[in-house]
Amino acid sequence: MTPVRIGLVGCGFSAGLHIDGYRRLPRERCSVVAVCGVPREAAEAFAAKHDIPAAFGSLDEMLAEAQVDALDLAVPNHLHAPFIKQAAQAGKHIFCEKPLTGYFGPPDAPADELIGKTVSKREMLAHVARECDDLVRAIDSAGVKFGYAENWVYAPSFVKLDRLARAAGGTVLRMKAEESHSGSHADYARQWRTSGGGSLMVKGSHPLGAAIQLKRWEGERKFGRPIRPASVVCEVGNLTWIDSFRQEERHYVRTGWRDVEDWGIVVVKFEDGSVAEVKAADVTLGGVHNFFEAYLSNARLRANINPNDSCVAYAPAPEIFGDEYISEKIETKAGWSFPSPDEDWHQGYPQEVADFVSAIIEDRQPISGLALGREVALVLYAAYVSAEEGRRVELAPILGAQEG
């Protein structure tokens, strides 16, 4: 067996997560043969650090010079769409970080324009819908594999939840899921122009993806076709803009959100009448809070992705545990804490990478694929329309006909 040759596009945070995933796989299954990034020096430094044979300053260059089977797109959100098209045209399999795509303003808009305040969400949705059509066409006609890097779909506790749901066999009536923490550090997350949205986009896309996927599986199992989202109601807010909050002397949650929400809730109704309550916030203290709960007719299941009590610790003072890692975004190491034994594993990072590589070897599509990525993007922007216009949005005209 020839190992799958991976070309890594991007050399930032998520590239680091992915490389760790590839490195956990046996060497005969895959090999990261090249990395590209801007500036070239950053790519070279990343290559040196992770022992990658070749580094390039652009995707064009990498495609021209390196022999790769698949591209791993670990680049900023607004580059997903153009890079997917380029990769598909070059006949490469694609592994793309979420979101599939989004609205980031017209290409000629100034970098600091607050498009979240000036462009209507309806216009954004129309743009995203067109973009999704283009991407589906490009990938379909190239006949390549497409992996949508939604790690929640691969998180061990969510996978176990799905297995229990299958064993119980009952109807998934209601889902409740959330991703929250005290706010992204990255500047790009504060502005629509670079992030494509606020808490719902950056965090909510995870629980939303998992909810849509769970109903897809249920439908495929019971009726031979996915149960798809039918309507969405959404509310968003900017809780760090509250007057009494602004007056506080010290802030423990991140601030400086410019034209994106720092809290949101999306209520999705599915075709069969079942529902999902999906929440996301950048104002939650106590570390990353990621959970997924499913209420079946004959069982109730909860996946505590983070925190969970697989390890519980207590310290009378914050310095007791020294440099030992506790868990993402926890403000203090004092008091009771829930240290993550292996955060990447709990969140499904190595598992998503392993599935993508297996899919290529086995000539099948990955478990988390294009259809999911597309629905998440469309439902999210439809949710933004709902919040902006203060009304329920029907999804059938947006999602179109059932695939397959």
Partner 1 sequence: MAVRVGLVGYGNAARFHVPSLRELGPERCEIVAVCGRSRDRAEAFAREHGIPRAFGSMGEMLSSADVDVVDLVVPNHVHAPLCIEAAQAGKHIICEKHLTGYFGEPDAPPDALIGKTVPKARMLERVLEQCAAIQEAVEAAGVTFCYAENWVYAPSFAKLRRLAAAAGGTILRIEAEESHSGSPSPYAKQWRTAGGGSLVLKGAHPVGAVLQLKQWEGKRRTGRPIRPRSVVCEVGNLTWIEAFRREPKHYLKTDWKDVEDWGVMALTFEDGSVAEIAAGDTTLGGVHNYLEAYLSNARIRANMNPNNACVAYAPDDEIFGDEYITEKIETKGGWTFPSPEENWNQGYPQEMADFIDAIAEGREPQANLMLARDVTLVLYAAYVSAEEGRRVDLRPVLERAA
SS3 state at 400: coil
225-254 footprint of partner 1 as x/- string (CB under 8 A): --------xxx-xxxxxxxxx--x-xxxx-
SS3 state at 82: helix
Using the contact rule CB under 8 A, the part of the chain among 97-105, 155-163, 268-276, 333-341 near partner 1 is 268-276
285 belongs to the binding site for partner 1 (CB under 8 A) = yes
- 94 vs 294, beta carbon nearer partner 1: 294
168 belongs to the binding site for partner 1 (CB under 8 A) = no
What amino acid is encoded at 325 in this protein?
Y
CB of 202 to partner 1, least distance (A): 17
344 belongs to the binding site for partner 1 (CB under 8 A) = no
CB 71 within 8 A of CB 97: no
CB of 164 to partner 1, least distance (A): 13
CB 205 within 8 A of CB 99: yes
CB of 188 to partner 1, least distance (A): 23
What amino acid is encoded at 2 in this protein?
T
CB of 303 to partner 1, least distance (A): 15
How many residues of this chain interact with partner 1, rule: CB under 8 A? 47
| Cα gap 226→95, rounded to integer Å | 22
Apex CA 196: angle with CA 115 and CA 283, to 5°?
100
Sign of CA dihedral 19, 21, 23, 25: negative
Residue 241, Cβ neighbours under 10 Å: how many? 11
CA 221 to chain centre: 25
**Residue in this structure with the two tokens 């005290």, named with its chain if needed:** 182
CB 14 within 8 A of CB 74: yes
- 32 vs 265, beta carbon nearer partner 1: 265
CB of 385 to partner 1, least distance (A): 12
- 309 vs 319, beta carbon nearer partner 1: 309
CA 205 to chain centre: 6
31 belongs to the binding site for partner 1 (CB under 8 A) = no
CB of 182 to partner 1, least distance (A): 10
Using the contact rule CB under 8 A, the part of the chain among 92-100, 170-178, 185-193, 351-359 near partner 1 is 170-178
Q: What is the dihedral of CA 333, 338, 343, 345, to 10 degrees?
A: 160
170 belongs to the binding site for partner 1 (CB under 8 A) = yes
Q: Can you read off the two tokens belonging to residue 193?
A: 């122009």
CB of 222 to partner 1, least distance (A): 6
CB of 166 to partner 1, least distance (A): 14
- 91 vs 273, beta carbon nearer partner 1: 273
CB 326 within 8 A of CB 334: no
Q: Which residues contact partner 1 (rule: CB under 8 A)?
A: 170-171, 173-174, 176, 222, 233-235, 237-245, 248, 250-253, 263, 265, 267, 269, 272-275, 277, 279, 281, 283-286, 295-300, 390-392
